[in-house]
Amino acid sequence: MGEDLRSELQEFLQNLKIQTSCVEHPPVFTVEEMMPHLQDVSGAVTKNLFLKDKKKKGLWLVSARHDRQVNLNDLAKKLGVGSGNLRFADEATMLEKLKVGQGCATALALLFDKDQSVKLVLDRDLVEGGHQMVHFHPMTNGATMGLRPEDLLRFLRETGHEPVLETFE
């Protein structure tokens, strides 16, 4: 399933004339497992959290630099959902909305969120930090794909997802 979705993603990016670079690696489920495979890439590597607010009114995908702390209480306040109200969403919801499972959350999966029910919170540093490339999983945790920050923003707009920019420490 992941390979078909990855092909669909790559075709979408090609149609937008977005150039990418890709590193293949064994499937990884944490940033710690992933980093040894990415020693030769330049730019920002991301971590991605798929969240819901407690009242289940909203789904959020948070993409932040891998070395940033994401405090869910602080983020909930900034997003106006109330402190203590953000939780990790279950895998079934992630599969339904983004077509990826645990360990594979990625902003690139927003291509498959056809009804724009998932809101993206993007680390401001990813697009304003002067990085040559920003890196995400391409629908599989067995690879990492890099694209230019401006191309990431164009991709997101083409999928109907205007990111909420936040600063993480």
Distance CA 2, CA 25 (A): 15
Residue 70 backbone dihedrals phi, psi, to 5 degrees:
-110, 105
The Cα 165–Cα 62 span in angstroms is 10
Q: What's the confidence (pLDDT) of residue 26?
A: 96
**pLDDT value of position 57:** 78
Report the pLDDT value the prediction gives residue 1, as an integer from 0 to 100: 54
Beta bridge pairs of residue 24: 143
CA separation for the pair 160, 166 (Å, rounded)? 19
d(CA 129, CA 124): 7
The β-bridge relationship of strands 44-53 and 20-24 is: unpaired
Give me the chain's average pLDDT, please.
95
56 pLDDT tier (thresholds 50, 70, 90): low
If one counts every other C-beta atom within 10 angstroms of the C-beta of residue 162, the result is 13
pLDDT mean over 98-118:
96
Count of C-beta atoms within a 10 Å radius of residue 42? 11
User: pLDDT at residue 50 above 60?
Assistant: yes
